[in-house]
Amino acid sequence: MPNKSKPALQLLLFSAALLAFSSRAPCNADECPTATDEIATDRPDVTNSSLVVPLASLQAENGFDMTSRHGSNSFDGSNTRLRLGIAHCTEFVMDLPNYVDSLRGSEPSGFSNIVVSFKRQLPVPFGFDLSATAGLGFPSGSSKISGKGSQPYIQFPWSHSIAEGWGVNGMFTVTWFPSMSTRNPTFEPTLSLEREFGAFADLFMEYVGDYDHQRPSQLLDGGGAWRITRRQQLDFDAGFGLNSSSTDYLFGFGYSFRLDGLFGGSNASSP
């Protein structure tokens, strides 16, 4: 009988080796965020930030979503992601289980998996920001929500300023589902156009595609964020599917904050 955990272990080791290799690249700590920089979150868009959190900082990103798919409605939250700066240009990430509640229709209810990751910001030229992430989803939640078995992934978020107040962001993710041949592997490219409004707000439009051995799903969404302080953010997003295999529509909102100066640092702060 085949050992289904062996591919997951091999892919996890590969992801860890990739991240370890990237960490050997010379990284100018002056180019990575510090406690003096404003909060930069992975939400509300699917495209994650190309920047890591500052060293000795803990960032909590939280949100709730309402989703409609094929006539079924569901509500999920709190979509909590914890990001801890463990070294210059490096963070530890944990996605806590969130609960999906089916409000109407045939969509399942249950908890999602715990996902742990490491993210490293990389030095790149020509005004680009780039990071590499390697992680593993543990089969701790409902298989009807997150699928079966362990799920390793690697991810590369990037961003680039193209004009005053304008920026383009993107991300490429590969996720392996060793226990599900129809989804193994899944490729997810994203592309986002962002516009800043003053020093505290921004809006975005984003394309998200999921490609596996089935019909791909494609999503167009948009939203924005408002930094109510340098370490606190409110956000929202709304989107709709571009084909019949996608989500019909979604709407979400969230709140994030950052605590600096942990590990006995001298720059301890409240949100």
Domain ranges for the chain? 5-259
Q: In this model, does residue 183 exceed pLDDT 80?
A: yes
**pLDDT tens sequence across 184-232:** 899 999 999 999 999 899 999 999 999 998 889 999 999 999 999 999 9
Region label for 144, one of left (φ > 0), alpha (ψ between -120 and 50) or beta (otherwise): alpha
Task: Residue 234: name the closest of 94, 78, 61 by CA.
Answer: 61
Sign of CA dihedral 111, 60, 117, 160: positive
Percentage above 90 pLDDT, the chain = 71
Q: What was the pLDDT predicted at 11? A: 55
2.40.160.40, 3.30.365.10, 3.30.300.340, 3.30.1300.10: which CATH number matches 5-259? 2.40.160.40
Average pLDDT over residues 40-67: 97
If you count them, how many residues does the chain have? Answer: 271
Lowest-confidence range among 23-32, 146-155, 215-224? 23-32
Region label for 194, one of left (φ > 0), alpha (ψ between -120 and 50) or beta (otherwise): beta
Give yes or no for a contact between 114 and 81, defined as CB atoms under 8 angstroms apart: no
**Peptide bond between residue 102 and the one before it cis (omega within 30 degrees of 0):** no
**pLDDT tens sequence across 66-84:** 999 888 999 999 999 999 9
Per-residue three-class SS string for the chain:
CCCCHHHHHHHHHHHHHHHHHHHCCCCCHHHCCCCCCCCCCCCCCCCCCCCCCCCCCEEEEEEEEEEEECCEEEEEEEEEEEEEEEECCEEEEEECCCEEEEEECCCCCEECCEEEEEEEEECCCCCEEEEEEEEEEECCCCHHHHCCCCEEEEEEEEEEEEECCEEEEEEEEEECCCCCHHHCCEEEEEEEEEEEECCCEEEEEEEEEEECCCCCEEEEEEEEEEEEECCEEEEEEEEEECCCCCCCEEEEEEEEEEECCCCCCCCCCCC
Q: What was the pLDDT predicted at 106? A: 82
Q: Tokens at residue 44, please? A: 């509300």
Q: What was the pLDDT predicted at 219? A: 96
Q: What was the pLDDT predicted at 30? A: 60
Q: In this model, does residue 26 exceed pLDDT 60?
A: no
> Using 50, 70 and 90 to split pLDDT, how confident is the model at 1?
very low
pTM > 0.75: yes or no: yes
Task: Residue 222: name the closest of 238, 207, 241 by CA.
Answer: 238
C-alpha torsion angle, residues 254, 250, 186, 131 (rounded to 10): -30
Alpha-carbon span 160 to 173, nearest angstrom: 18
Lowest-confidence range among 6-10, 131-135, 164-168, 170-174? 6-10
Average pLDDT over residues 94-118: 93
**pLDDT tens sequence across 208-218:** 999 998 889 99
Q: What was the pLDDT predicted at 90? A: 95
> Using 50, 70 and 90 to split pLDDT, how confident is the model at 112?
very high
Q: What was the pLDDT predicted at 2? A: 46
